[in-house]
Amino acid sequence: MHVLFVLVTLLLVSCSYGAVLRDLGQNHGKLIGSCANQGHLAEQQYAQILGQQFSVITPENEMKWAATQPARGQFTFTQGDAIVNFATSHNQKVRGHNLAWGEDNPSWLTSGNFNATTKQNLLKTHIDTVVGHYKGKVICWDVVNEAILDNPANGNVYKQNVWYPAVPNYIDLAFQWANQADPNVKLFYNDYSAEGSGAKPDAVYNLVRSMKQRGIPIHGVGLQYHVSLQYSPNIQQVITNIQRITDLGLEVHITEMDVSIQGGSGSQAQMLAAQATVYGSVMKACLGNAKCTAFVSWGFTDKYTWLNSNQMPLLYDTNYQPKPAYDTLVTTLS
């Protein structure tokens, strides 16, 4: 009787503390992650949940150009290193984010009026230095981020930014340089609104297929999955899209998922239930494909989101209480 009591108590305790996303994900060979902001690591509740629940962290801003090369030729890794150190001490992996993007670049770069050759040299030096610094410390890089137009049409596919069209082949070059700097790190192309069907998902698919065909070193596609109750792609089309990407021999990571309740209807409880369904369906889609290897949300608490907090897009509320979306992920993974 006494033994039974102890066993039941142990079971109850392990149930209430046992819902740990990273462990459930591991059972399926999936990394479960969140982005993290080093400015919040000192907050006890933030650090506790981040360290406990997730097996992979993406630095929200700390490895971007503005953070890593704030002045020309001067590299600073303090913030990114803080994320890596946190991850190491919690037995977590790190997704590097990112090496070439049209946003969050330092003003010396964007307003420098550099010619194409100089831009090319700047990009190479940056990639050599940053990938070199984090060699062996990150499992993958979002090498190029959000390069494709929202509505690509008639051969007009790429966003104009500091790199394009000045360096027309900057995408290929960035992947080649990253591969040279660390031949062992996995290299991803990462974009939003590329999850389902349509011109943008097709353009992303065509880009990475062409890269594979031409022998450019690319290992995966990051589907960001920033969606809302108003707009969320058809999950069957997402499953088909993940399949065609992985059929190329590439991995897929869900890299930045959040689900704004904007555009939802009914009570708040109903909207949070609908949000949970979206999270669950995406997790299920990832579980359905062995080459979908990571599921990462863009933050975990509504207290800290790039969206407005009243859009309540994440897994925990502003008081760090798990929401229905969290429970649904646990159930889906269990």
Active site positions, annotated: 146, 256
Counting contacts by CB under 6 A, is residue 224 touching ligand G3I?
yes
C-beta closer to ligand G3I: residue 75 or 212: 75
C-beta closer to ligand G3I: residue 222 or 324: 222
Q: How far is CA 160 from CA 13, 65, 165, 170, 175, in A?
A: 55, 17, 6, 12, 19
Name residues whose C-beta falls within 8 Å of residue 294's C-beta, 6 or more positions apart in sequence: 30, 31, 32, 33, 56, 95, 253, 254, 255
Which residue from 104, 165, 168, 268 is in contact with ligand G3I, where contact means CB under 6 A? Answer: 104
Least distance (Å) between residue 256 CB and ligand G3I: 5
C-beta closer to ligand G3I: residue 145 or 301: 145
In the region spanning residues 135 to 174, those forming contacts with ligand G3I, defined by CB under 6 A, are 145
Least distance (Å) between residue 277 CB and ligand G3I: 23
In the region spanning residues 52 to 81, those forming contacts with ligand G3I, defined by CB under 6 A, are 60-61, 64
Question: Per-residue DSSP letters for 167-218?
Answer: STTHHHHHHHHHHHH-TTSEEEEEESS-SSSSHHHHHHHHHHHHHHHTT---
C-beta closer to ligand G3I: residue 228 or 332: 228
Q: How far is CA 184 from CA 132, 178, 188, 200, 208, in A?
A: 11, 10, 13, 29, 19
- Tell me which amino acid residue 14 is: S
| Spatial distance between the Cα atoms of 263 and 235, rounded to a whole number of angstroms | 18
C-beta closer to ligand G3I: residue 122 or 194: 194
| Spatial distance between the Cα atoms of 312 and 290, rounded to a whole number of angstroms | 30
Count Cβ neighbours within 10 Å for each residue of 131-162 and write b for 16 or more, e otherwise. bebbeebbbbbbbbbbbbeeebeeeebbeebb
How many residues make contact with ligand G3I (CB under 6 A)?
Answer: 9
Least distance (Å) between residue 145 CB and ligand G3I: 6
Which residue from 103, 202, 317, 327 is in contact with ligand G3I, where contact means CB under 6 A? Answer: 103
Counting contacts by CB under 6 A, is residue 114 touching ligand G3I?
no
Are the CB atoms for 191 and 144 separated by under 8 Å?
A: no
Least distance (Å) between residue 241 CB and ligand G3I: 18
Least distance (Å) between residue 306 CB and ligand G3I: 3
| Spatial distance between the Cα atoms of 135 and 64, rounded to a whole number of angstroms | 16
Counting contacts by CB under 6 A, is residue 195 touching ligand G3I?
no
User: Taking phi first (over 0 means left), then psi (-120 to 50 degrees means alpha), and beta for anything else, what does residue 309 get?
Assistant: alpha
C-beta closer to ligand G3I: residue 182 or 256: 256
Which residue from 75, 114, 306, 320 is in contact with ligand G3I, where contact means CB under 6 A? Answer: 306
In the region spanning residues 250 to 279, those forming contacts with ligand G3I, defined by CB under 6 A, are 256
Least distance (Å) between residue 224 CB and ligand G3I: 6
Q: How far apart are the first and last CA of the chain?
A: 30
Are the CB atoms for 295 and 279 separated by under 8 Å?
A: no
Which residues make beta-bridge pairs with 94?
57
Q: Which residues bind ligand G3I (CB under 6 A)?
A: 60-61, 64, 103-104, 145, 224, 256, 306
